[in-house]
A and B are shown apart, each in its own frame.
Chain A
Amino acid sequence: MVPVDQYLWLSLALFTIGVIGVLTRRNVIIILMSIELILNAVNINLVAFSHMFGTVDGQVFAIFVITDAAAEAAVGLGIILAFFRNRETLLADEMDMLKW
């Protein structure tokens, strides 16, 4: 039996990698994918605890997280497409118009 904290370490590792990916990469698609990674890490956490307590609440929550991730990915990619059509760029460094 794998102790629960191992799942937590996995979740933490994925989370950290996801955060690094969000903060570090220039390509917005990679950033979006890193965000998906973070969400996945959270899902693992939730399911691990749901398993520990024997309830399904964690899993239901994870379903909702997946639903959310789907919606957000769809809209986010739509935005990226629109932005790409306008500015011909996918680099987050070049998306700095929203400033004074």
Chain B
Amino acid sequence: MNAQPFFLDHIWLIPMFPLATAAVMLFYGRRLSNNIVSWLCSGSVFVSFIFSLGAFFQIVAKPSAARVATKVLFEWIPAVPYHMLDGRLAKFVADWGFQIDPLSCVMILVVTGVGFLIHIYSTGYMAHEGGYYRFFGYLNLFMFSMLMLVLANNLLLLFVGWEGVGTCSYLLIGFYFHKKSASDAGKKAFIVNRVGDAGFLLGIFLTSALLGTIRFTEIGPALAAGGFAIGDPRITAIALLFFVGATGKSAQIPLYVWLPDAMEGPTPVSALIHAATMVTAGVYMVVRTNAIYQLSPKAMGVVALVGAVTALFAASMGVVQNDIKKVLAYSTVSQLGYMFLACGVGAFTAGIFHLMTHAFFKGLLFLAAGSVIHAVSGEQDMRKMGALSKKIPITYWTMLIAALAIAGIFPFAGFISKDLILGKAYEKDALLWAIGYFTAGMTAFYMFRLIFMTFHGTSRVDREAEHHIHESPKSMLVPLMILAALSIVGGWVSWPEIFGGNSHFINFLSTVVAVPHEARIEPLKGASSRLGEIHLMLLSEGLVVLGILFAWYLYVKRTDLPEKIAKAFGGFYRLVYNKYYVDQLYDAMFVNRAKDLGLALGAFDRNVIDGVGVNGAGWLTRFISNVSIWWDTWIVDGSVRLFAYIVWCLNIPVRMIQDGLVQSYMLLIVLGLIGFFGYYFYVAHHAIR
């Protein structure tokens, strides 16, 4: 495109900066000092952030209807002709192209912004770890992949980024690869992701076969031109296949099992990848292709239901976990469920809004948890923490702010985004709203359980660790404070209209959502027989406060109660504590079956291929060689020896005659003479004259 504003024209540089530094890490990282590595890698992300800001402002400068800019670097897959499902000839084109619109703007700002903060944090957190340059190289590679994902202008390039973030997730989860649990977790993440990716790929194929294009800008017109009825099974199929991919990447039921294990990775990794950015890729993808979803109410229903149930399910598991990071992991799964609930009920923009606020407070929660772990010398079990609030104040206050935000206390960021979702859910389906409502209460409960167990009550920290409790270095604290600030004000970009705001954010994103009649979230004015928006807000606030109080009661006031409750609900407690045995179920159903297949194939290889094939071939060769030996010995040599034998046989009379005795020779002379004489005298005596 010509004559585009600078940042829009150079949008392709945004992923390239982190890629460049990742490449530098690959080739030279080992030789560089930690200092240089920190400056280089964080610096490149910062530059990308600046560029993202620039792009944002230049997009905003455009009129609202024209807020789409594309930049194609080069044609990656040239037009390959193929037949669509209905027989029309189409060309499969995938270019290395970038698309800027409000959605991708929000995403790149979140990714580069939060990513930059986490890079800064990592310089402090990973300062004493081995493989420093490797960590930052992977981190930058991840930034590149994520940015490619959100900036792609077609499904295939998005998939490239999709796979890239999956790979980086594997690399970073298994960063401490000498630990078996870490490398196992990395493998689990990648393999479970793969299942989702298969669905996603099938969705892409079906899209190109049905619509003839995979470019986002062309999908909308193709859908309109195709004359698809609402609820067309093919469209539903595409939507559901995409959603399978989303469940894998964004850890929904049934492919969420990798996310709790992913906590084996370093805490900055958990913060960046498994809270703020990678896991949100599924949500992004659903919103990006919302035109397809809008045409299939069934698919949207599935999305909403799965999201809601996952939210509840994960929250229940988060309530009983004792590892601080695991609680946060289940919390992430739960919040992602909220985002999908939002998409499922049509509030795509609300889902993205929650994505953004979640990035702030979940990122902050993870980083602060890392700070806590750092303070208590590596202890992650909350049962061994307590009374830390006075000892690590900054960590405490920032984490508290994040907890308030996630619980949904007014006026923190989480309140606004969660309420938008619940409001829209209530409009669509009261059951979905009820699930979300109840889950919000649980969220508040387990979050404050975490806060109270970690920072309040009596100190249960180990003797030696207690002496070393210290606040983290500046490099770790500053990002915490920035994120805390964002957690407070982050939601104010879309202040609800009933309080006098004008939903800037939602409006900003509205152009991204396809069907106009779902664009704006109408405030519930004048709904007579239903609860108004304000009533819903009050209800949820009430439940949240109840949850916080309950947590305070159990974990500050009467700390003996939790154990008694656990004993009382013994079986149920054990069920939830063991994560409903889902991992074991998957093991039995899939993992061990796959291993069995491997063993069977191994046995087949050993016995049939090696046994019959290789050994058989060996045996056959030996057999043939024996035949050959026999042939050579008896036939070939034999014929030679036969001739020799014949000559020998002919020789026998001659041998008998030649005995070296002169007299026997003489005898033969006489014999010959007799014959000679006989012939000449009695047969041919005419010859004698």
Point out residues on A near B: beta carbons under 8 Å. Answer: 19, 22-24, 31, 92-93, 95-100
Contacts and interface: CB of A to CB of B under 8 A. Distances in A.
Contacts of B666: 22-23
B651 to A, nearest CB: 9
A21 to B, nearest CB: 11
Contact of A19 (B655, B658, B659, B670): B670
Contacts of B659: 96, 99
B476 to A, nearest CB: 107
Question: By CB atoms of chain A within 10 A, which of B655, B658, B662, B670 has the most?
Answer: B662
Contacts of A100: 655, 658
Nearest to A25: B663
B81 interface: no
A92 B666 CA distance: 12
B488 to A, nearest CB: 121
Contact of A92 (B658, B662, B670): B662
A99 B663 CA distance: 14
B661 A93 contact: yes
Contacts of A93: 661, 663
B647 interface: no
Contacts of A96: 659-661
Nearest to B667: A23
Interface of B: 655, 658-663, 666-667, 670
Contacts of B663: 22-24, 31, 92-93
A98 B660 contact: yes
Contacts of A99: 658-660
A87 to B, nearest CB: 13
Q: Ordered nearest first, which 4 A-B pairs have the shortest CB separation?
A: A96-B660, A99-B660, A98-B660, A96-B661
A93 B660 CA distance: 9
Contacts of A31: 662-663
Nearest to A94: B661
Contact of A95 (B662, B667, B670): B662
B649 to A, nearest CB: 16
A97 B659 CA distance: 9
B227 to A, nearest CB: 109
Nearest to A93: B661
A12 B96 CA distance: 128
Contacts of B661: 92-93, 95-96
Given A23-B666, A24-B663, A96-B660, 10 more contacts: A22-B663, A23-B663, A31-B662, A31-B663, A92-B662, A95-B661, A96-B659, A96-B661, A99-B660, A100-B658
B667 A97 contact: no
Contacts of B660: 95-99
A100 B655 CA distance: 8
Nearest to A35: B666
Nearest to A26: B663
A52 B670 CA distance: 29
A23 B658 contact: no
B263 to A, nearest CB: 98
A98 B659 CA distance: 8
Contacts of B655: 100
A39 to B, nearest CB: 15
A31 B662 CA distance: 10
Nearest to B673: A19
Contacts of A92: 661-663
Contacts of A97: 660
Contacts of A98: 660
Contacts of B670: 19, 23
Nearest to A100: B658
Contacts of B662: 31, 92, 95
A99 B670 CA distance: 20
Contacts of A95: 660-662
Contacts of B667: 23
A95 B662 CA distance: 8
A98 B660 CA distance: 5
Contacts of A19: 670
Nearest to B651: A100
A100 B658 CA distance: 8
Nearest to A92: B663
Nearest to B661: A96
Nearest to B655: A100
Nearest to A22: B666
B146 to A, nearest CB: 98
Contacts of A24: 663
Nearest to A98: B660
B464 to A, nearest CB: 105
A77 to B, nearest CB: 15
A98 to B, nearest CB: 5
Contacts of A22: 663, 666
A98 B670 CA distance: 21
